[in-house]
Structure 1
Amino acid sequence: MLAATGPLLRLPQLAIHLDRGVNDGLALDKQTGTQPVWGLGDAASADLLAELASAAGVDAADIRGFDAVVADAARGAVFGKDDAFFAAGRLDDLASVHAGVVALIEAADAPAPVIPMLAAFDHEELGSASRSGAAGPFLEDVLARVYASLGADAADQRRAFAASWHLSSDVGHSVHPNFAHRHDPVVQPLLGSGPILKINANQRYATDAVGAAAWAAWCEGAGVPSQEFVSNNTVPCGSTIGPITATRLGIRTVDVGIPILSMHSARELAGVSDLYDLSRVARTFFAG
């Protein structure tokens, strides 16, 4: 059973009056500095499990196991000149999930033999090596069952993989106006200028020349501008699930996304038009 509580906990930061050096650098102790407050009274009276059980509509005594995850409950907001910006928590990578879901719904009439599919994995920020992460067997198993239901044998399945495409969508860095020197001096994607094609010579992103050409065609078909993203050579980039699924399945993969600012902060910042344009390109991609 899944349940959400709404705002429930708070991590209060120590006031600057009691830590005068905080503006010179903040380092939180992961154990003592991240204890949230929930209610008033002594610890013996605190029964968080009962609170969660109530939100889920079950008796706490009936709970045998649970995964309780804390997430920022602040709502996102559109703001700025002409409402150009959208700020929210976890745009990395709910932005891509939203664009994919919207595009998949709109692609319900995709012509045969195209089979549009959207996969949203757990644990991407932890390395994806889990039962339900991209490095696990879930996607491959689902695809195998789909092809088996269509009467395809193992050889047919592998041929289908070789003829398929995977669009690995994750956010990337927009050039920060206050820290432009941290970015590549030539390739400088900006908020509001279109989705990005992510490129890395060390295959931290799975894009190759053929994939880049296909991405350009999908963007052109959707009437959407596109930008390229590469990291500054002195600032190593992260990676995505793209190289992981490409390795597992052998499906040609293109790493894409939208540019954002403040990645991995509690309030990430995107361009509204980029969110919309990503869903338009995904719709063209799903249409085959």
Structure 2
Amino acid sequence: MRDTLNQGLIDFLKASPTPFHATASLAKRLEAAGYQRLNERDPWAISPNGRYYLTRNDSSIIAVRMGRQSPATGGIRLVGAHTDSPCLKVKPQPELQRQGFLQLGVEVYGGALLAPWFDRDLSLAGRVTFREGGKVESQRVDFKTPIAIIPNLAIHLNRGANDGWAINAQNELPPILAQVPGGERFDFRALLADQLGREHGLNADVVLDYELSFYDTQPAAVVGLNGEFIAGARLDNLLSCYAGLQALLGAEGEETCVLVCTDHEEIGSTSACGADGPMLEQTLQRLVPDQADYVRAIQRSLLVSADNAHGVHPNYPDKHDGNHGPKLNAGPVIKVNSNQRYATNSETAGFFRHLCMAEEVPVQSFVVRSDMGCGSTIGPIIASHLGVRTVDIGLPTFAMHSIRELAGSQDLAHLVKVLSAFYASQELP
């Protein structure tokens, strides 16, 4: 099972270079499992035991498996994750022609580690909005092959590179795509129109706009002397999206279960399709339209907010509290912060720990050092919007927010097992 899950994750990462592609990948797998797509603009006819999903902005997705009884009496088991990762996004007028080279101006999305982006084989993917035959449409694109690179400056010309070099995002990050003859102007939107034709057979009259980002073309892989690790891009947080999907598709309980994977977590979740927007609340209210029943349902529910945790790095052990250094391949991590950067409390942590013990899944704890700031995730945001009890958890990883991250190859199976038990749980605390 472990090897099958890991290969499935590797395939999912390859098919999901952007939140648009990740959402489409999740939707494809849900439809194959019999889930019916809902349109937010249409009336819904929800039935017990029904299986449904919906998307918003093509970059966030909610999947619902209705139970036999009303959520007002049985509650809702929610698992939350996010589809976005730090990256380099192409600017609206990106064309740069300098020293005979074609480059594209980029904007840093999220809290990216920038140094690893240098000297990588990059491709480009995202969503393009265009006009065809007088109609405005949008379509995903993925160039797939390496079309760009950000070369480092040689050490001979940057002697201080190993002494804490501050990267200037405006000047030093534009990737190089090609050499161009002097005086010849390059039209990036014409390139996108050609890509729409090659990839989808579309004949765009004009490319109106786009949301595109660069990504590393090196595929994820199982690495290590004994295959102990998974290395790949966007493990934060497509790893949790994939684990939640596998748990939902394999769960056999009769309770109402929800998987929510939202965009824009890396920049605060404040958007129409982010966790700080109304998407999840509006969806749950339509599933339970009676207001009193809705409040009862929320108070009987629990959210497992799944987002990667910081594993203790052997080269930097002092970055962790001595008693709270999660190890790779030692199971999911319960994340705690007394200032509510995580929404975990003793009751929700205890319930998650109980599930792990019952399933013989190892479990760990993380608290940030008292002299360091703590990150956050969608858990506190959703908890404050819905009033739902929440536990923040995640699998330990290294190099979070790098272009290539590292996780334990045993931990995905651990997380899928405990999330499956959560979805099947008869009673919540």
| Common fold by TM > 0.5 | yes
- Aligned partner letter, 1:23: N
Q: Secondary structure at the match of 2:391?
A: strand
Q: Give 1:77 shift.
A: 1.3
Q: Secondary structure at the match of 1:3?
A: strand
- Between the aligned partners of 1:22 and 1:256, the Cα distance in structure 2 is 37
Contact residue 231 and residue 405 of structure 2 kept, 8 A: yes
Q: Secondary structure at the match of 1:65?
A: strand
Q: Secondary structure at the match of 1:260?
A: strand
Q: Give 1:8 shift.
A: 2.6
Q: Secondary structure at the match of 2:212?
A: coil
Could you list the per-position Cα deviations for residues 15-62 of structure 1 after superposition, in whole angstroms to 9, with x for gaps in the alignment?
Answer: 222211101112221111111112232461453323442334323424
Corresponding residue number in structure 2 for 1:64 = 208
Counterparts of residues 48-197 of structure 1 (less than 5 Å) = 48-53=191-196, 54-107=198-251, 109-111=252-254, 114-148=255-289, 153-197=290-334
Corresponding residue number in structure 1 for 2:158 = 19
Q: Give 1:72 shift.
A: 2.3
Q: Give 1:76 shift.
A: 0.8
- Between the aligned partners of 1:212 and 1:72, the Cα distance in structure 2 is 36
Equivalent residue for 1:233, pick from 370, 374, 379: 370
Q: Give 1:278 shift.
A: 0.8
Answer with 11-20 or 169-178: which moved more: 11-20
Q: Which runs of 5+ in 2 are unaligned?
A: 1-138
Q: How many residues align?
A: 281
Corresponding residue number in structure 2 for 1:5 = 143
- Between the aligned partners of 1:143 and 1:188, the Cα distance in structure 2 is 36
- Between the aligned partners of 2:246 and 2:385, the Cα distance in structure 1 is 27
Contact residue 193 and residue 207 of structure 2 kept, 8 A: no
- Aligned partner letter, 1:77: A
Q: Give 1:102 shift.
A: 0.8
Alignment TM-score, normalising by the size of structure 2: 0.63
Corresponding residue number in structure 1 for 2:360 = 223
- Name the CA shift for 1:126/1:249 in 2 (closer, same or farther; >3 Å): same
Q: Secondary structure at the match of 2:384?
A: helix
Q: Secondary structure at the match of 1:39?
A: strand
In the alignment, structure 1 residue 39 sits paired with structure 2 residue 182: no
Contact residue 2 and residue 56 of structure 1 kept, 8 A: no
- Between the aligned partners of 2:177 and 2:257, the Cα distance in structure 1 is 44
- Name the CA shift for 1:15/1:57 in 2 (closer, same or farther; >3 Å): farther
| Superposition RMSD in Å | 1.5
Equivalent residue for 2:168, pick from 9, 29, 42: 29
- Aligned partner letter, 1:176: H
Q: Which runs of 5+ in 1 are unaligned?
A: none
Contact residue 171 and residue 258 of structure 1 kept, 8 A: yes
Which structure: greater helix fraction? 1
Contact residue 49 and residue 60 of structure 1 kept, 8 A: no
The percent of aligned pairs where both chains have the same amino acid is: 42
Contact residue 331 and residue 361 of structure 2 kept, 8 A: yes
- Between the aligned partners of 1:178 and 1:31, the Cα distance in structure 2 is 31
- Between the aligned partners of 1:206 and 1:160, the Cα distance in structure 2 is 19
- Between the aligned partners of 2:359 and 2:140, the Cα distance in structure 1 is 36
Could you list the per-position Cα deviations for residues 180-215 of structure 1 after superposition, in whole angstroms to 9, with x for gaps in the alignment?
Answer: 111101122111111100011111100001101110
Q: Secondary structure at the match of 2:334?
A: strand
- Between the aligned partners of 2:357 and 2:201, the Cα distance in structure 1 is 49
Answer with 235-244 or 19-28: which moved more: 19-28
Q: Give 1:120 shift.
A: 0.6
Could you list the per-position Cα deviations for residues 240-276 of structure 1 after superposition, in whole angstroms to 9, with x for gaps in the alignment?
Answer: 1000000000110000001111111111110011122
Answer with 75-84 or 1-10: which moved more: 1-10
Contact residue 193 and residue 206 of structure 2 kept, 8 A: no
Q: Secondary structure at the match of 1:28?
A: coil
Could you list the per-position Cα deviations for residues 109-145 of structure 1 after superposition, in whole angstroms to 9, with x for gaps in the alignment?
Answer: 321xx11111111110100011111000000011111
Deviation beyond 6 Å, 4+ runs, structure 1 = none
- Aligned partner letter, 1:199: V
Q: Give 1:286 shift.
A: 1.1
Corresponding residue number in structure 1 for 2:62 = none
- Aligned partner letter, 2:166: A
